[in-house]
């Protein structure tokens, strides 16, 4: 995993806000955007995409991960996540698990609210004792 500096994280926040503008949220009205940086140096953007049946809704983080994996990416350096709410949007449990498939516990996760107030943490802090492929081999 390559290090991502503060300037780059701020640039990723900008892109995450742009991604948030693509959100499809007729049910919750709550928009989320994500910017995922791959080890290749490319950025993948995602938004939440809701559904009338509710449970098929896809979070912004998973949209970004799935786009990237489809394109052949398998490892990532950082993710920035923004939302339209007053509190920074931390990834939901399902998204933490999906991120852990491809991202190490040291990966920076920058979460921000609608006013650009942000909290920086790592994936390992968000998902300690995660279940991974190594557990299947035990
Ligand atoms: N949402 C995300 O996009 N990411 C998260 O990690 C939490 C929740 C979306 C799903 C739904 O469209 C809306 O936020 C309200 O739950």
Q: Give pLDDT tens digits for 90-117.
A: 999 999 999 999 999 999 999 999 999 9
Q: Three-class SS of residue 135?
A: helix
Instruction: Please give the Cα distance from 17 to 85 (Å, whole number).
Output: 12
**27-63 per-position pLDDT tens digit:** 999 999 999 999 999 999 999 999 999 999 999 999 9
Give the residue, out of 19, 22, 31, 59, with the most ligand 1 atoms within 8 A of its beta carbon, to mutate for a pocket test. 59
Query: Residue 60: which of 18, 101, 102, 119 has the closest Cα?
Result: 18
DSSP string, 90-101: PPPHHHHHHHHH
pTM recorded for the entire structure? 0.97
Burial of 54 (0-12, 13-18, 19+ CB in 10 A): exposed
Q: Is 91 near ligand 1, meaning CB less than 6 Å away?
A: yes
Residue 61 annotated to the active site: yes
């Amino acid at each position: 995993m390559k290090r991502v500096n503060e300037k780059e994280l701020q640039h990723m926040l900008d892109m995450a806000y742009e991604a948030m503008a693509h959100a499809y949220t007729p049910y919750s009205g709550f928009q989320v955007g994500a910017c995922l940086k791959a080890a290749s140096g490319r950025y993948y953007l995602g938004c939440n995409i809701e559904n009338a049946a509710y449970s098929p809704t896809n979070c912004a983080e998973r949209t970004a991960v799935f786009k990237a994996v489809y394109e052949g990416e398998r490892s990532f350096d950082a993710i920035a996540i923004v939302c339209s709410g007053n509190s920074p949007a931390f990834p939901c449990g399902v998204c933490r698990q999906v991120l852990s498939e491809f991202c190490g516990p040291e990966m920076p996760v920058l979460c921000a609210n609608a006013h650009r107030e942000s909290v920086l943490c790592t994936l390992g802090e968000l998902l300690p004792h995660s279940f991974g492929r190594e557990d299947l081999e035990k």
